[in-house]
A = this chain, B = another copy of it.
Amino acid sequence: MKRKDGRTAQELRPLTLRMGYVEYAEGSALVELGNTRVLVNVSLAEGVPRHVSGREGWLMAEYNLLPRSTKERKERERQKISGRTAEIQRFLGRAFRAALDLSLLPNKTVVIDADVLQADGGTRVASLLGGYAALHMAMDRLVSRGKIDEWPLTEFAAVSVGWMADDSLLLDLTQVEDENAWADLTVVATRSGDIIELHGAGEGRPVPKATYQAMLELGLAQIPEMVRRVHGQLKNRV
């Protein structure tokens, strides 16, 4: 049975990266995952916050929906950020810190800004893929300038899996599909299959263990393909 956009259940949407979209940033990627568009920029700066100990660098991530990235306009988060934004920022930060060896970047702060221009489902996945690509670009630059000796970034990717209201499983949900899912799981893992993060964002329905296992397997199986796709576009400069 075909999905509304013609995909099969296990088919991913087209992924396009435009590297270096913002020329000021140390790393930059405009990611298009179907109709979802996220601009991810990586900034490198000298120095780390006071609470960071010792020899390591520091990494933090920020996530933001532009007001009209959604069907209804959303207010800018100018007085306080929403719980959803805070949660996604924590999730992104943890994932990137798991993949980047900060001991190789002493006294450096890495900030990853993911700004969603259009949100048609999968903004976390797109932020992770774009962040990986932009980090890759920023690290390449450090290597080529002789600033670091060892490659600090583990290959990883992300994918989402949905448990639909007809008990089927679908990969890479659009916004409309997401609204009709009982649960969805974002799987973040290394190319070799080690798990970086698993985040279930669904509500309202406990997931049978067998279903959960199937979702996890389905997601993990796509990770190597996703890594390949991203790597295939790292030279795709604006």
B204 A97 Cβ-Cβ under 8 A: yes
Decide yes or no: A73 and B90 within 8 Å by CB, A23-B118, A220-B209 being known contacts: no
B39 A66 Cβ-Cβ under 8 A: yes
Chain A, range 47-84, C-beta contacts under 8 Å to B: 62, 64, 66-71, 73, 76-81, 83-84
Cβ of A140 within 8 Å of any chain B Cβ, yes or no, is no
Cβ of A6 within 8 Å of any chain B Cβ, yes or no, is no
Contacts of A73 in B (CB 8 A): 43, 45, 111, 113
* Copies of this chain, tallied across the complex: 6
Closest chain B CB from A49 CB (angstroms): 13
Binds B, one of A125-133, A186-194, A227-235: A186-194
Cβ of A222 within 8 Å of any chain B Cβ, yes or no, is no
Q: How far is the CA of A89 from the CA of B212 in the complex (A)?
A: 23
Decide yes or no: A195 and B207 within 8 Å by CB, A67-B43, A68-B25, A73-B45 being known contacts: yes
Which A positions have Cβ atoms within 8 angstroms of B? 21-25, 28, 35, 39, 41, 43, 45, 62, 64, 66-71, 73, 76-81, 83-84, 86-87, 89-91, 94, 97-99, 111, 113, 115, 117-118, 154, 156, 189-190, 193-198, 200, 203-209, 212, 220
Contacts of A71 in B (CB 8 A): 24
Contacts of A197 in B (CB 8 A): 200
Q: How far is the CA of A43 from the CA of B212 in the complex (A)?
A: 33
Contacts of A193 in B (CB 8 A): 208-209
